[in-house]
Structure 1
Amino acid sequence: MRLQKQIVSLIFSFFLITQAQAQAQETGDTTGIFSQVDSTIIENQEIGTNQAIDTLFVRKQDTRQNIPKIGLLLNQIVTKSKKYAIELGNVNLLLKAKPDFSEMDDRIPVLKNTMTELAEVVIEYEEKGNNRFINGIENFLNLIEEEQQNFEDRISKRVDDLVEAGDKLDKIRQDTIISLTLKNSETLPEIDRELRSIQNKLRSLDSLLITQELEIASYQSRVSDLSIQLLGLRESVNQSERNIQRRSWKKEINYIWEAPSYEIEDSFLTNFIKSVPINGSVLIRFVEKKSLFLTSSLLVVCLIYFFSKRAIKNVIARKEFAEQILERIKLIQNQLFISCIIITIPFIFTFIENPTIVFSSLLSLVFVTLSGWIAYQRFPKKVFWLLAIFYPVYLVAPTFGLAWGMNFDERYFDLFVSASGITLAILMYKETDRHLFVGSRVLKALSVFLLTFALFSFGVNIFGRPTLAKTFSILGVSNFYRGIGLYLFVQVFLKFVYIWLESSKKEDDVLTSYFDFQEIQNRVEKVISIFAIVLWFYALTVYLGWFSTIGNSLVSFLTQPRTLGNLEYEFSTILLFIIILMVSFFLANNIAYFASVFDQKTGSSRNKRLGSSILLIRLAIITIGFFIAMAVAKIPLDKITIVLGALSVGIGFGLQTIINNLVSGIILAFERPVQIGDNIQVGQLVGIVQEVGIRASKIRAYDGSEIILPNGDLLSQSLINWTLSDKRRRIELIIGVAYGSDMPTVQKVLEEVLKRDLILKDPPAKVFMQEFGDNSVNFRLLFWVGNMDIWLDLRSEVMNDIFKAFKENNIEIPFPQRDLYLKSVPGNLDNVIQALEVKEAILAPKDIKDSSTEESTSEDEKDQKDNKKSSEE
């Protein structure tokens, strides 16, 4: 049968060729003969192939044009069946890896019921709520929203997985080969088995995919209902917040001297007790959600305590100056674990997300209470006892402030809190103004803050605004103590930094100098102080309920589009550009400084230190910061060419010196003729290099002064570097002895004195007879020390030993002498003689008896006559 089909095909092809030749002879065109014949042959071959495929497979109508030749078809079926089997296996794993939505099943009804109860609470406290009530509700809603967002993320991720699985199944299903089915499975049993397996898996996975899509759609609907309910409740809370803000500034009740204009439904204590279960549930739920973070924070406290304890032990065991170091950290040494907690709590406030008002109040209470142990050591005793006496006011006022409802009878308690705040502020201000001590300025500023808030609270309370009075009275007292705690946090943090730096030093006999200690303290204190101040203001604005208002207003002002000519801009981009540049400069300066400090303390040799290369680190940070600022502010980089053009004009007019110093600094960083810590001399300037800056370098002279030297002068002037290759230094002494001394003995004595450990043996010490001076024979001593830091001490020590050795060997150190020859005697010599006699009489011992008056008088007259006679001669 196959042979017959081939013969028919050949006859038909020959007929076509003959017909094509005849047609070409008539038209004269023979170029298309063979192409026409070839296409016809190919069509006949495909017809034969399709007929062969039709005898084996059953296929759909639309697959005929896409089916390849029978040999290729069988090969593709085998290859693709293996590929699709693997892909279907992956899809099967993806569909079976179904997330556990059981928690969602349990939590969604609970969250809905919770929001229903919160909606009822909002309605109940709409007329008597306060800022604490609003903050508590918002924190609760934040927890719910966080949980709802987590549900949406999990659902969204599962939807993406199902979409991916569906795309893979559609891609496999669209392949025409998969749609083929063998008419007789016994002809090609392996291929039939592969095709049927793939088709069965497709049907099974399709069914599983549809089931999971329906299930995930159900969860999407439930979470969407939860989200809608949450949005409605948040809108109600926002409306209540606006009502409270508007009502609190208006008169709510009677003036203090009038009869009460309100009715008390629940007592002050009853109202507080009602809020306890809600606050407790909020706290428990928040702790459960943040259990991992809180556990990690506790672990951080333990690690800080462990490393600090080991650092203190290392200092005690290794350092010669352990007593001085421990004296500087006395503030934390006695209460080390408490100090570790104190430096951790502010960072917990910073990094924890959406803390509830109850948790924040509790953590603030722990922070202030533990800070009291540090305040006892840091502040004068009278200041500490003032803080301790009024501490119960801080303890009680914020606690009762956790009550969500407002009982107008609380105004009398708020009056007591405000009066206590006024008293504390006045007493503290007088004490800090009378006595200056470390931290007195901070306490004075906090006293002014407390006095302002307490007076305002007292005034508005009298004039019938108890809600506003309660907010300001609680905030005044709580932020006063919280501010003191943050100040002590800064001081404790500095002590930890210092002990860690001292422990990390490799030199056991080196103590950080006072200047280095002050510089490190100042740099770290600036950063930590800014952090503490921002945290303090953040807490103040949040508790006042102003944070969202201020934030929204500021964002609206900064993001409003503005135009300047053809240029469109926003203040936010300009502000962001400036902030990033400031941060880059700040980081560059501080990283460079601490890198230089660490480099000096840990570098074993000059060649292994970074030294002046720290300038390159600074320039790199500033450059990266500049480009990041340009990118974040969306400033086109092609605008830099304009800046560079303007800069080139500026260089031409008057910036040559600045650019020269900048380039000189870069050259110094690469060539490294000067390193930080080198002892150099430039002209008459001598000192130690402290910093190689962008424009100028800082040199500390030996008298303590700091010299700012432009970098260009370091390259243009003659530079003497005493420590370029090593720190050895030669010491030269000129010692003079009397001419009558035994010179070999002098030589021997001097050589013996120079035999000591601190004087290098290579090169050896030398003693030379230098010259014959006017009054002495001068010897020249030359010897070397390994470290020039000790050359002055060693020079003094050698000179002292030489003096002692000369005295023991009766070697005289002469002094200048002159011989005077008098050619004539002055006429008033008698007056000189009398003056000398009077001086001798005054200096004479008291136990010598005076002569009689008559004898002394006669002798004086006789001497005067002799002197007069001699003067006349």
Structure 2
Amino acid sequence: MMNKLHWNQFNSFLWIIIMSFFCASTLQAQRKKEAKKKDTLDQIILDSLKRDTMSIVATKEDTIAIQKAVLGDTLIPFVANKVEKYNATIHYSHRSVRDTLDMSDLMQEVAMVNKIVDKMQTRIEKGNRNFNIQMINTSIILLTENLNDLDPKSESLANYASRLMQNNRDVKRILKDPIFKLTGLSTDLKVQLNNIYQDGQQLDTSEIALLTRINLARNQTSTAILKLNDLLSDLKYMEENKYFQMWKPDAPSLFKLKSNYYQQPFWATLGSSFSRTFKIVGIYLKRKIGVLCWGMFFLLVTGIISWNNRRKIKKNEDYETIMTPVKYFKRSILLTTLFAFCNYFPFFFLNPPYSFLNLVELIQLVLFVAILWPYLLFKGRIMILISALICVGFILDNQLLDPTFGERWLLFLLCIALILTNLAVFKFNSSYTSLIAKSWVTNVVMIISIIFAVFSLLFNLGGLTTPMKLFGFTSIQVLIIGVSMRMFCQVALEFIYIQTEANKGSRFSAFINYIELKSKYMRIFAFIGMVAWCIGIFHSMNLYGLFLFIVDFIFNHHIHIGQFDFTFYSIFIFVFVIWVSSIVSRFVSFALGGDQDTSSTKRNKLGTMTLLIRLSILTIGFLIAIAASGIPLDKITLIIGALGVGIGFGLQNIVNNLVSGIILAFERPIQVGDSIEIGDKSGTVSEIGVRSSKLKVTEGADVIVPNGDLISQQITNWTLKDRRKRDFFSFRIAYGTDLYLVKKLVSDVFEENKNVLKNPPVAITISEFASTAVIMKAFFWVSELDDIPTIKGNLMYAVYARLLEHNIQIPHDPYDLGK
């Protein structure tokens, strides 16, 4: 038994030794296998690095990642993940190559710019004596437009090249990944890796070729931009030099001028200048297609609205009476709309060239004559034709980019004709037309025009050709813009008038309210016209660039006051947004019935909702104003803190009323249309505002009640639940009368009146036994408290007649005899 036990222990021990040896052998073999794999992988990576030392190599992180995958037996998922990632990268790079920029138009534009710059540079090198201010200014405007067009395109090319270079670096990194040299992978993975490698090689070649073309285009574009900047610097220097030298004679006096002093004759210069003008206008408008489309859209919309409004008015029987104040739109919708368009369309552009403005003025002049022609008397037609010819002469003269002998004499005669025409209008204005009345504005405009014309004559006689042309052209611009803007203001007023008359039932037309706000609209349009007139004069004097510089300096100059840093532009934006918000809030209030006729006493449940909407709009407007003006929030905190101090000292009542308005909006103890009593005042609530509310009293007056009083004082609201109200009246009956008969007769009167409610029932009671009569009272209910005076009066009439009909005496009060 003992030997058998020892034999079993020996077998168990032997079995343990065999299993331990087997496990150790297996573990050693696995470690050798992993070491062999690692050595093979390291050799592959080393060979790859030795073969391509001049290109992008695999990063250390890639090698470590592959080693970890091999050691962790996750190589297959690791490779699959890499395949998916590389496929996405190559697909994205393929799309970038496929969506390449179209550089053919850019290269044509660059070639055209180089051609223009070379021609202008050649002309400058030959001598700049014949360069006048208009030509220099027009050249600067066109070259600036080309520069502004090329700059963003050059930036787009740079961004695209940067993105393409990054994509190419990613592709090169993929091609140098040692994962493509791994062995022992499945057939599918090998095929996918091989496809990725081939696509990457093709993509690398395509990207390098594309980068070469893009870099060439970038170089050409950058060269053109540099040439444009150099030429602009030269032209601006010439312009400044012209201004400094303009007050010195640069040509002989007019009467000493010989016809061969200038190289080209007048007519040849005129023809070449016209050809150049149309080219300039075409080039300029070609770059402003978007602005032209917006302008045409605005013209179409205003024309359709005007035509539709006049069509609606024509349906009325009193069409002629309604259209009595209308002159221009009654004459022609098309001509009037086009004339107004010619007035505001140039302001769609920041700094248009003279050629474009002169073309618009010619069209505007034709429309002006066509509109006024039926309203002109015979002398007026003669005068307007002479004035139109003078305007055309000045406009044609302004197209001459080179001075000539004929231009000097033409400008001299035009200035004399302009002076005489203005003097004739001064004397005989009333005999020309009854449409445009003479005013002090017209007189001032004509006086300024005469002054500029006189200075142009003097400069012409003295041989100062640059100021001669500037003052001569400005003399007619003063007149053209002044008269056009005045007529434009009248056209705008007519537009508002026919909009109001054609849509009397709409809330928007009621909000415009032309009849009551006509004077306000006239002041607004007069101010706009004055600003436009000043801008036109600055532009004609070639001071528009200086004007923009001054405006930009004033609005964007940073002002420091203590820790505050602000600009007038931020203040303007803040005030403008708040102003627009207030207009929008008033319009919303009006559209929701906030300004309805106060004679209507129906309760309006939208009153408090309107107040909440107005408060929301003003709050949003305030936040937008802060964001748009760029005011830092920490500065707002300081301002609110300062306001807190101000509230503590002197703004308690204002803030109290504002907060009370918000409480009224949420609690709604009163609404628009409610009949209330507050203090010694009673009436109907006509408006609930942000700070105060309006109460329409029975006398017809509007009582302004601060919202704080509506919260703090006791209010009797007769219409909080409904508009029913009880009332009564007393009557006297002689002693000895059958009171039951009286009660029945009076009850019958109330039964016959349909305005008296049946429930609650009418109550007729004895109030008092007086010394001379029995005093009775009749209590009744009505559905509408505002109808009580009328209903009560009718009932008293009926009761009196019914009692007299039955010979029931109504004794008088003896105490009333002495009253």
TM over 0.5, shorter chain? yes
C-alpha distance in 1, partners of 2:724/2:380? 55
Tell me how far 1:50 sits from its aligned partner: 1.8
C-alpha distance in 2, partners of 1:782/1:381? 77
The answer (yes or no) to whether the contact 2:564–2:635 under 8 Å persists in 1 is no
CA deviations over 1:245-284 (Å, ceiling 9, x no partner): 223334445666x644783444444432221111111222
The answer (yes or no) to whether the contact 1:141–1:234 under 8 Å persists in 2 is yes
Tell me how far 1:341 sits from its aligned partner: 4.0
1:231 to 226, 229, 232: 229
The answer (yes or no) to whether the contact 1:734–1:780 under 8 Å persists in 2 is yes
Other-structure match for 2:536: 539
Instruction: Give the aligned residue type for 1:60.
Output: S
The answer (yes or no) to whether the contact 1:421–1:450 under 8 Å persists in 2 is no
Q: Is 1:103 the counterpart of 2:105 in the alignment?
A: yes
Structure-to-structure mapping, 1:527-676, within 5 angstroms: 531-556=528-553, 567=562, 573-600=566-593, 606-608=604-606, 610-617=609-616, 619-621=618-620, 623-625=622-624, 627-628=626-627, 632-633=630-631, 635=632, 637-673=633-669
Q: Judging changes above 3 Å, is the alpha-carbon distance between structure 1 residues 528 and 54 closer, same or farther for their aligned structure 2 residues?
A: same
Instruction: Give the aligned residue type for 1:549.
Output: L
Instruction: Give the aligned residue type for 1:551.
Output: L
Structure-to-structure mapping, 1:365-444, within 5 angstroms: 365-367=362-364, 369-370=366-367, 390-407=387-404, 409-419=406-416, 421-422=418-419, 444=440
C-alpha distance in 1, partners of 2:657/2:430? 47
Tell me how far 1:122 sits from its aligned partner: 5.5
Q: Is 1:49 the counterpart of 2:37 in the alignment?
A: yes
Structure-to-structure mapping, 1:56-71, within 5 angstroms: 60=48, 65-68=64-67, 69-70=69-70, 71=73
Structure-to-structure mapping, 1:656-805, within 5 angstroms: 656-673=652-669, 682-683=678-679, 692-697=688-693, 707-719=703-715
CA deviations over 1:106-164 (Å, ceiling 9, x no partner): 33222222233334555678334444323322332234224423542442343244134
Structure-to-structure mapping, 1:161-310, within 5 angstroms: 161-173=163-175, 175-178=177-180, 180=181, 182=183, 188-253=186-251, 259-260=256-257, 263-310=261-308
The answer (yes or no) to whether the contact 2:657–2:692 under 8 Å persists in 1 is yes
The structure whose Rg is larger is 1
Note the residue ranges of structure 1 that are not aligned, 5 or more in a row.
Answer: 1-5, 15-40, 822-873
The answer (yes or no) to whether the contact 1:421–1:477 under 8 Å persists in 2 is no
C-alpha distance in 2, partners of 1:560/1:547? 19
Match of 2:605, SS state, is: helix
C-alpha distance in 2, partners of 1:106/1:697? 68
Q: Judging changes above 3 Å, is the alpha-carbon distance between structure 1 residues 90 and 396 closer, same or farther for their aligned structure 2 residues?
A: same
Other-structure match for 2:82: 80
The answer (yes or no) to whether the contact 2:589–2:610 under 8 Å persists in 1 is yes
Structure-to-structure mapping, 1:407-486, within 5 angstroms: 407=404, 409-419=406-416, 421-422=418-419, 444-463=440-459, 464=462, 465=464, 466-486=468-488
The answer (yes or no) to whether the contact 1:771–1:777 under 8 Å persists in 2 is yes
Match of 2:399, SS state, is: coil
The answer (yes or no) to whether the contact 1:132–1:404 under 8 Å persists in 2 is yes
CA deviations over 1:364-384 (Å, ceiling 9, x no partner): 444465466777899999999
The answer (yes or no) to whether the contact 2:611–2:690 under 8 Å persists in 1 is no
Tell me how far 1:194 sits from its aligned partner: 2.1
Other-structure match for 2:11: none
Q: Judging changes above 3 Å, is the alpha-carbon distance between structure 1 residues 110 and 512 closer, same or farther for their aligned structure 2 residues?
A: closer
Q: Judging changes above 3 Å, is the alpha-carbon distance between structure 1 residues 730 and 520 closer, same or farther for their aligned structure 2 residues?
A: farther
Q: Judging changes above 3 Å, is the alpha-carbon distance between structure 1 residues 397 and 210 closer, same or farther for their aligned structure 2 residues?
A: same
Other-structure match for 1:854: none
C-alpha distance in 1, partners of 2:748/2:109? 96
Match of 2:592, SS state, is: helix
Tell me how far 1:173 sits from its aligned partner: 3.8
Tell me how far 1:403 sits from its aligned partner: 2.2
The answer (yes or no) to whether the contact 1:449–1:476 under 8 Å persists in 2 is yes
Tell me how far 1:206 sits from its aligned partner: 1.0
Instruction: Give the aligned residue type for 2:579.
Output: F
Tell me how far 1:616 sits from its aligned partner: 0.7
The answer (yes or no) to whether the contact 1:331–1:374 under 8 Å persists in 2 is yes
Other-structure match for 1:853: none
TM-score (norm 2): 0.75
Could you say what the CA RMSD is over the residues aligned between the two structures, in angstroms?
A: 5.5
Structure-to-structure mapping, 1:134-145, within 5 angstroms: 134-145=136-147
C-alpha distance in 1, partners of 2:133/2:232? 15
Other-structure match for 1:22: none
Q: Judging changes above 3 Å, is the alpha-carbon distance between structure 1 residues 129 and 475 closer, same or farther for their aligned structure 2 residues?
A: farther
C-alpha distance in 1, partners of 2:383/2:791? 57
Other-structure match for 1:21: none
The answer (yes or no) to whether the contact 2:175–2:201 under 8 Å persists in 1 is no
CA deviations over 1:28-66 (Å, ceiling 9, x no partner): xxxxxxxxxxxxx99766414325658999953587655
C-alpha distance in 2, partners of 1:462/1:120? 34
CA deviations over 1:72-97 (Å, ceiling 9, x no partner): 22332233223322321231122122
Q: Judging changes above 3 Å, is the alpha-carbon distance between structure 1 residues 517 and 687 closer, same or farther for their aligned structure 2 residues?
A: farther
Q: Judging changes above 3 Å, is the alpha-carbon distance between structure 1 residues 208 and 61 closer, same or farther for their aligned structure 2 residues?
A: closer
Tell me how far 1:221 sits from its aligned partner: 1.3
C-alpha distance in 2, partners of 1:504/1:123? 67
C-alpha distance in 1, partners of 2:686/2:377? 37
C-alpha distance in 1, partners of 2:719/2:123? 77
Match of 2:178, SS state, is: coil
C-alpha distance in 1, partners of 2:759/2:377? 59
C-alpha distance in 2, partners of 1:54/1:86? 28
Instruction: Give the aligned residue type for 2:359.
Output: L
Match of 1:580, SS state, is: helix
Match of 1:600, SS state, is: coil
